[in-house]
């Protein structure tokens, strides 16, 4: 089986092609905010390096959040369009779970003003604290795993894509038309409208 893995929700763009249970190619780099121009050349190079065509892929695993709203949409749009066009199954995975795949702990993405996107996982990627948009708190167990800088100690993610895929390989695929981002946060406009409605 040949799988494509895409994660552009964090500051690290990850693209991997998995062939018969092994990583045939992986790109994992801190590209900052240049994901939209980097993504396709990286994908094209990945296919070229392993000598495959997009049509050879059997299944796509894509991170659908949480993280950078734009970053999530870039990767998800590519993955959805591919899955739709090639008529292959697509499975969403959590950005935080991917971050925690190198070892147990709480994966954190800085969401500003004291808030984090956070989720705690054990060594087998079982959920200990479900992915949430929360104020930093004591229920999130150490170590803290993050690409971002905080005023407390964190370790950089050391991601294990094969572990993530193994965990989700039996997941029921989602119709790409209905696969949505998992932002874990409403837009400010929606929040304001909701608060306004509540006050009136």
Partner 1 sequence: MYILAIESSCDETSVSIIKDGLEEISTVILSQIDTHKDYGGVVPEIASRMHVENITIVIDEALKKANMEMKDIDAIAVTYGPGLIGSLLVGLMAAKTLAFIYNKPLIPVHHIAGHIYANNLVKRVEFPLIALVVSGGHTELIYMKEDYSFEKLGGTLDDAVGEAYDKVARVIGIPYPGGPMVDKLAHEGSDVYNLPLPLDDDSYNFSFSGLKSAVINLAHNEKQRGNEINSANMACSFQNRVVKILVKKTMKALNDYDVKNLIVAGGVAANKGLREALTKECEKNGVNLIIPKMKYCTDNAAMIGAAGYYAYKRGDIAGLDLNAKAVLPLK
Binding stretches for partner 1 (CB under 8 A):
36-41, 43-44, 54-55, 69-70, 73-74, 76-78, 80-82, 84-86, 176-177, 180-181, 183, 187-190, 193
Q: Between 11 and 77, whose beta carbon lies closer to partner 1?
A: 77
Distances (CA, A) of 141 to 107, 133, 153, 166, 167: 10, 16, 12, 24, 22
Supply the minimum distance, in Å, between the C-beta of residue 117 and partner 1: 16
The continuous run of DSSP H or E covering 94 comes out as none
Supply the minimum distance, in Å, between the C-beta of residue 41 and partner 1: 5
What are the residue ranges of helices labelled H in the chain?
A: 35-50, 69-86, 95-99, 161-168, 188-199
Give the span between the Cα atoms of 65 and 96, in whole angstroms. Answer: 8
Q: Between 31 and 160, whose beta carbon lies closer to partner 1?
A: 31
Please choose, from the candidates 122, 124, 119, 110, the residue with its C-alpha nearest in 3D space to the C-alpha of residue 139: 119
With beta carbons less than 8 A apart as the criterion, state whether 11 and 61 touch: no
Supply the minimum distance, in Å, between the C-beta of residue 192 and partner 1: 9
Q: Between 44 and 155, whose beta carbon lies closer to partner 1?
A: 44
Supply the minimum distance, in Å, between the C-beta of residue 145 and partner 1: 27
Please choose, from the candidates 103, 92, 100, 101, the residue with its C-alpha nearest in 3D space to the C-alpha of residue 118: 100
Q: Between 86 and 136, whose beta carbon lies closer to partner 1?
A: 86
Q: Between 54 and 102, whose beta carbon lies closer to partner 1?
A: 54
Supply the minimum distance, in Å, between the C-beta of residue 51 and partner 1: 16
């Amino acid at each position: 089986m040949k799988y494509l893995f895409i994660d552009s929700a964090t500051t690290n763009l990850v693209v991997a092609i998995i062939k018969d249970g092994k990583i045939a190619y992986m790109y994992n780099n801190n590209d900052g905010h240049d994901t939209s121009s980097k993504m396709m050349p990286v994908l094209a190079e990945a296919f070229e390096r392993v000598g495959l065509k997009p049509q050879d892929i059997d299944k796509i695993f894509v991170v659908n959040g949480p993280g950078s709203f734009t970053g999530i949409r870039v990767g998800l749009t590519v993955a959805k369009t591919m899955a739709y066009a090639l008529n292959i199954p697509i499975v969403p995975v959590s950005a935080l779970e991917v971050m925690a795949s190198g070892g147990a702990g709480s994966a954190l993405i800085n969401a500003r003003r004291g808030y984090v996107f956070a989720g705690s996982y054990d060594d087998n990627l079982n959920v200990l604290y479900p992915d949430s948009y929360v104020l930093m708190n004591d229920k999130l167990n150490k170590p803290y795993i993050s690409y971002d800088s905080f005023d407390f100690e964190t370790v950089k993610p050391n991601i294990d894509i094969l572990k993530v895929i193994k965990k989700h390989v039996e997941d029921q695929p989602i119709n790409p038309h209905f696969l949505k981002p998992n932002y874990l946060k409403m837009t400010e406009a929606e929040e304001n409208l909701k608060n306004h409605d509540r006050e009136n």
